[in-house]
Amino acid sequence: MQIATWNINGVKARLDNLLEWLRSAGPDVCCLQEIKSEDAAFPRGAIEDLGYNVATHGQKGFNGVAVLSKHPFDEVLPRLPGDDADEQARYLEAVISTGEGAVRVASIYLPNGNPPDTEKFTYKLAWMDRLHAHAEATLRLEEAFVMAGDYNIIPEPEDAHDPAAWEGDALFRPDSRGKFRSLLNLGLTDALRACTDAAETYTFWDYQGGAWQKNNGIRIDHLLLSPQAADRLKSCRVDKHTRAWERPSDHVPVVIDLAV
């Protein structure tokens, strides 16, 4: 069973790229972030024509997450619990039947948090605390649980082409990275690092400064696995080639393969 995550950076602007990749890669489940679309305006018809069920939690112009699945949804949970006043569409969770059991999948668009001396960073850290609490509660269910998305966290210096350039940035601040480690310490597995320690493995290249051409990238898109999902992990790959397509997202898909 292949499960992917991709910050699409505007589903309408990148729809052709998304459809091309879905046709060629054919993941069973794809978690999208930054769809920048209200639910009613999401181009679900073209995606459903490829055999996917579609669940969205969107808002106009920015943020927004989606889960695409070749299998039916048993449950869909929009919004991250813990703050009823939070109106930003950044979390969507679904339980998906596979015929060989079920898997719980979350599409996560964690706040960027910059500038770090503003309330945006305070919001990021509070959001991560809510994610930690929800993950801890969900792990007690002892299910295969995949937390997939754009975490806006560079976990380690080797996850950046130029770590020094990110010093002080909200993506690389010690407190941000510490909260990411606390998530892992719940018993979650970073799927990519469980499969490879290869250097220069990135998932994001900025549009500015020739970052793609210089391979000046960072790894901020992650799939974190519960023990029950990690036991089924066969492989993880980064579909880097999509960054070279016309009008690309600045992120690329990350795909895991779980044994059924």
Instruction: Indicate which residues carry an active-site annotation.
Output: 109, 150, 251
74 annotated to a ligand binding site = no
User: Which residue(s) pair with 92 in the sheet?
Assistant: 78, 107
Q: Which two tokens stand for residue 245?
A: 């397509």
241 annotated to a ligand binding site = no
Non-local CB neighbours of 39 within 8 Å, separated by 6+ positions: 56, 57, 58
Packing angle of the helix pair 174-184, 119-139 (nearest 10 deg): 10
167 annotated to a ligand binding site = no
Q: Which two tokens stand for residue 193?
A: 């690092």
Four-residue CA torsion sign, 52, 57, 59, 62? negative
16 annotated to a ligand binding site = no
Non-local CB neighbours of 84 within 8 Å, separated by 6+ positions: none
Q: How far apart are the first and last CA of the chain?
A: 6
User: Cα angle vertex 230, ends 225, 235, to 5°?
Assistant: 100
206 annotated to a ligand binding site = no
71 annotated to a ligand binding site = no
Q: Which one-letter amino acid corresponds to residue 199?
A: A
Alpha-helical regions (H) of the chain: 15-25, 44-48, 119-139, 174-184, 191-195, 227-230
Residue numbers belonging to the annotated binding site:
7, 34, 150, 152, 250-251
Residue numbers belonging to the annotated binding site for Mg(2+):
7, 34, 150, 152, 250-251
